[in-house]
Amino acid sequence: MTDPVSRTILLLDIEKYSDRDDVEQAYLRRMLYDITDRALESAGIDETLRLRADRGDSVMELIDANASVTALLRALLTEVPAQLRAVNRMASNSAQIRLRGVVATGYVAVDGHGGWVGSDLNHACRLLDAQLLRAALRERPDDFALCVSEGVHAGIVRHDHPGIPATDFHAVIVDSKNGPLRAWLYGPVPGGEDHSDTGVGEAPVPGGGSGDRPAPGQAPRTGEASVPGGGDTPQRPAQGGVVFNLNGGSVSFGGSQVFGDQHGVSGGQVTGDVHLGNGGEPA
């Protein structure tokens, strides 16, 4: 087996390929190769910079790491939809071709039998097979659904290069047999769901305690008094630092002082001199 080499990974798959008869499948395969070749040529990636593997209803391309990923993405977003429109305009209903696509980067080795080996390649294949990407294609009017890996988004997409609108890519989490995978889907997310703030391994913020009010279960801030039996909402001290519980119970003084003999403090009644704050006259 060769040493793993950094590659750009391009995967394209035909929707509902197995539903067609042999003649239709042969036609769809020819169209898939034609569309792939034209897209790569448009990106300036000739045959010397890529390896191809045939998977029947899909094509896998390992592209030299020196080839422009930016140009490849730009071609996929423009050339592939244009080619699909041209092909499908002249094809019968049974010969319509719709494609799912994935662009990823990673290290791939070639074994002694010409097979491709690498966890980054496996990751890309999981994205291609994801139900979310399949659902996205069903909603696409241009017959093409594309997602990119986290690495491609971080290195290329988020920089908003001409022809690659960063705002049109949405963060998604897709299920796979290896667990949830994070990716970026071009175009609307199926069902209108918003996954843009979700990340693999990110835990939700408990109780939504990001505002001024403490989350449930948190202790009140210094100077705040909780009302026993009065719900979760903490009661801030009134001016002067004293809060009375009108339903019975204790009296809380936020930062106040109590002077006097203090005999008989019970049930919210205070006997003796009470001074509120750091000064003031006896109450």
Residue 8 reports pLDDT greater than 70: yes
Three-state DSSP at 205 gives coil
pLDDT of 108: 93
What's the rounded Cα separation, in Å, for the pair 125 and 13?
A: 10
Which domains, ranges and CATH numbers included, belong to the chain?
5-192 (3.30.70.1230), 221-283 (no CATH)
pLDDT of 273: 54
The region of weakest confidence among 182-196, 210-224, 265-279 is: 210-224
pLDDT of 201: 36
How many C-beta atoms surround the C-beta of residue 168 within 10 A? 14
Strand partners, 103: 10, 148
Residue 212 reports pLDDT greater than 60: no
Q: Is the torsion defined by CA of 31, 73, 198, 7 positive or negative?
A: positive
With 0.75 as the threshold, say if the pTM is over it.
Answer: no
pLDDT in tens, 67-103: 999 999 999 999 999 999 999 999 988 899 999 999 9
Q: Cα-flanking dihedrals φ and ψ of residue 39, to 5°?
A: -65, -45
pLDDT confidence band for 192 (50 / 70 / 90): low
What's the rounded Cα separation, in Å, for the pair 12 and 58?
A: 5
What's the rounded Cα separation, in Å, for the pair 198 and 212?
A: 23
The pLDDT > 70 percentage for the chain reads: 67
How many C-beta atoms surround the C-beta of residue 106 within 10 A? 20
pLDDT confidence band for 1 (50 / 70 / 90): confident
pLDDT of 272: 53
Strands 99-110 and 144-149: parallel
Long-range contacts of 188-196 (CB under 8 A, 24+ apart): 188/136, 188/139, 189/132, 189/136, 190/132, 190/135, 190/136, 190/138, 190/139, 191/135, 194/170, 195/170, 195/171, 196/170, 196/171
More confident site: 189 or 2? 189
What's the rounded Cα separation, in Å, for the pair 25 and 19?
A: 9
DSSP H stretches of helix in 43-166: 69-90, 119-128, 131-139, 150-155
Q: Cα-flanking dihedrals φ and ψ of residue 172, to 5°?
A: -135, 160
